[in-house]
């Protein structure tokens, strides 16, 4: 079967091993230093790769969404949440051939592991109270014009509302 093709592909196996090894390092950091945030964030970043992995091994998803939970999670809520994310990650790969998914998985792992140091610094910045919140700053830049227009509208409304005071 072509499902075993991925597992016999040396680069696929090496990429999976690298991903597992790095995740295990983060799990050890979580246990030793209590830095669970890094592991949670890494899992979020690597979820699309999980979808490609499943697509490479099994092909299109045939599991109903409502029943999909992550058995590795001890908490029911987290099991459902991670299962839901994984289901969507796999479902987004629908239609890819196993060969395409294998190639995308290998490239995705190399890309993710290549930017890990930068991501870890970003995650640490997000936790450091001395560093402005990146998401809020980006949102603020996107909404600068909207805020300016809102201020102008508010000024006009105040002028109209308070006009009686200047005419009296």
pLDDT tens across 132-168, in order? 777 777 777 767 777 777 778 878 887 887 777 766 5
pLDDT of amino acid 2: 47
Distances (CA, A) of 66 to 94, 95, 149: 18, 21, 44
Q: What is the pTM of this model?
A: 0.69
Q: Are 89 and 43 in contact (CB under 8 A)?
A: no
Cα 132 from Cα 7, distance rounded (Å) = 44
Q: Based on C-alpha coordinates, what's the Rg of the chain?
A: 24
Tens digit of each residue's pLDDT (9 = 90 or more) over 26-74:
888 777 776 777 888 888 899 999 999 999 999 999 988 877 777 777 7
Question: Which candidate, 114, 3, 17, 112, places its Cα nearest to that of 60?
Answer: 3
């Amino acid at each position: 079967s072509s499902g075993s093709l991925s597992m016999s592909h040396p680069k696929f196996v090496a990429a999976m091993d690298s991903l597992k090894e790095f995740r295990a390092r983060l799990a050890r950091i979580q246990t030793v230093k209590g830095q669970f945030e890094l592991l949670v964030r890494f899992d979020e970043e690597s979820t699309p790769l999980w979808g490609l992995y499943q697509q490479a091994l099994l092909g299109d998803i045939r599991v109903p969404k409502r029943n999909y939970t992550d058995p590795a999670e001890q908490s029911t809520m987290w099991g459902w949440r991670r299962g839901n994310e994984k289901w969507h990650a796999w479902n987004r790969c629908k239609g890819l051939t196993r060969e395409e998914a294998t190639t995308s998985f290998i490239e995705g792992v190399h890309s993710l592991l290549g930017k890990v140091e930068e991501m870890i610094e970003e995650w640490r910045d997000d936790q450091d109270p001395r560093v402005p919140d990146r998401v809020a700053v980006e949102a603020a830049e996107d909404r600068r014009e909207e805020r300016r227009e809102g201020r102008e509208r508010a000024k006009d409304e105040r002028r109209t509302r308070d006009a009686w005071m200047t005419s009296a």
